[in-house]
Amino acid sequence: MKTDSDQAVDGIRFEDRPPPVADFIRMRADCGWGELSPALAGPALDASLLAITAVDGDGRIAGFVRAIGDPLYLYIQDAIIAPERRGSGLGKAMMQRLLVRIDADFPNAHVMLMCAKGREGFYAGLGFEARPSENFGPGMQRLR
């Protein structure tokens, strides 16, 4: 059965793999997440449990999403779309595809993420609930 997540968006194909290290480093830096060395980026990508990479007709990386974790808790670690592709529906298609894979491969896992400010509605539309809520406190972090 085909789902919306199986459809190409504007000539993009989806590959079930992390992006190449150089693209990962560049795209993280381009969205303000800082510079990483290949020695740090490579192992981070290798630790991905699931990943979807969007590739355009010229072979350029248009975006990627990836999840890390274990069979009980998955964390969507990165969801990055190239600036020229934002607003095209690519992010939604990639997230839908990732969630379909999570449901199939990790049916008992709780799925969590931290979204960029202002993107809460996007993730709510995919079934995520903002924290704090009636039953859960705020997400916490310790950055270095």
Residue 47 has pLDDT above 80, yes or no: yes
Q: What is the pLDDT of residue 12?
A: 94
Give phi and psi for 75, each to the nearest 5: -125, 120
Q: What is the pLDDT of residue 1?
A: 33
Domain extent at residue 42 = 4-124
pTM (global) more than 0.95: no
Q: Could you report the per-residue pLDDT of 112-124, keeping only the tens digit for each?
A: 999 888 999 999 9
Residue 56 has pLDDT above 90, yes or no: yes
- If one counts the domains in the chain, the total is 1
Residue 128 has pLDDT above 90, yes or no: yes
The whole-number average pLDDT for the span 63-73 is: 97
Residue 140 placed within a domain: no
Residue 46 pairs with which residues in a beta bridge?
Answer: none
Residue 30 placed within a domain: yes
Residue 50 pairs with which residues in a beta bridge?
Answer: 67
Q: What is the pLDDT of residue 143?
A: 82
Q: What is the pLDDT of residue 4?
A: 43
Q: Under a CB-based contact definition with an 8 Å cutoff, are residues 40 and 25 in contact?
A: no
The whole-number average pLDDT for the span 63-80 is: 96
Nearest to 68 by CA among 106, 108, 125: 106
Model confidence band, residue 140 (pLDDT cutoffs 50, 70, 90): confident
The whole-number average pLDDT for the span 102-108 is: 96
Residue 5 has pLDDT above 70, yes or no: no
Residue 82 placed within a domain: yes
Residue 56 placed within a domain: yes
Q: Which two structure tokens, joined as six digits, stand for 116?
A: 């960029």
Q: What is the CATH number of the domain that holds 18?
A: 3.40.630.30
Q: What is the pLDDT of residue 8?
A: 60
- b/e sequence 108-119, b meaning 16+ C-beta within 10 Å: ebebebebeeee
